[in-house]
């Protein structure tokens, strides 16, 4: 089984509108390009985060695949606490101790005051991964977010979630990371990571 993790296309910049951010024009172009590439991979189904930028990416990809799309809350972006509504600058001002520890990337910290950590993301994303690997599907696209991709990869590779920050800075928009799953051995392997060669005509900025 192949699981193609795709980060959504470039999103609009608005730190205080985290939930409903849409793709930019460039983001739609990126999604269209990655859809053209995925057309060659015999994709059976697409799963998408329930956040708007991911859904727009999945729908644009599906213009080339014409397969079922399932929307899942389990692969929405990591909840960054107060940062999601008031921005990173506010977080730096009000939670300096958190920022100091966070920047070390040694501990899997929850975003204050009520956000998630990497393990929280993996625990919910794992529900969807288990659904996929227990299905009869062979090639599945998962359209999600940079933070979720990092947490999933740490989870399947059994790495500490604090190590997720070593995986991309983060992965590029509309890049593909491929997880292969062997049903006979119940083992995952990371086959490729952050592949955006298809975006040669619309490279990351």
Instruction: Catalogue the active-site residues.
Output: 8, 77
Quote the tokens at residue 62. Answer: 């599906």
Residue 11 has what DSSP assignment? B
CA–CA dist 3, 139 (Å, integer): 6
Quote the tokens at residue 193. Answer: 């990571």
Quote the tokens at residue 122. Answer: 């993996």
What number of other Cβ atoms are within 10 A of residue 198's Cβ?
17
CA–CA dist 134, 67 (Å, integer): 19
CA–CA dist 11, 205 (Å, integer): 12
């Amino acid at each position: 089984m192949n699981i193609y993790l795709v980060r959504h296309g470039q999103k609009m910049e608005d730190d205080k509108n985290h939930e409903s951010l849409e793709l930019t024009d460039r983001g739609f172009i990126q999604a269209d390009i990655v859809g053209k590439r995925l057309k060659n991979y015999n994709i059976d189904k697409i799963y998408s985060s329930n956040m708007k930028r991911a859904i727009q990416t999945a729908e644009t990809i599906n213009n080339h695949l014409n397969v079922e799309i399932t929307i899942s809350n389990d692969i929405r972006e990591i909840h960054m606490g107060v940062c999601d509504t008031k921005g990173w600058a506010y977080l730096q001002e009000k939670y300096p101790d958190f920022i100091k520890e966070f920047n070390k990337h040694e501990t899997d910290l929850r975003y204050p005051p009520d956000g998630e950590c990497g393990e929280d993301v993996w625990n919910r994303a794992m529900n969807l991964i288990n659904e996929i690997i227990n299905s009869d599907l062979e090639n599945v696209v998962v359209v999600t977010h940079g933070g979720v991709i990092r947490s999933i990869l740490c989870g399947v590779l059994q790495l500490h979630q604090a190590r997720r920050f070593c995986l991309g800075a983060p992965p590029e928009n509309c890049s593909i990371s491929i997880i292969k799953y062997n049903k006979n051995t119940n083992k995952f392997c990371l086959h490729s990571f952050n592949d955006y060669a298809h975006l040669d005509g619309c490279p990351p900025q």
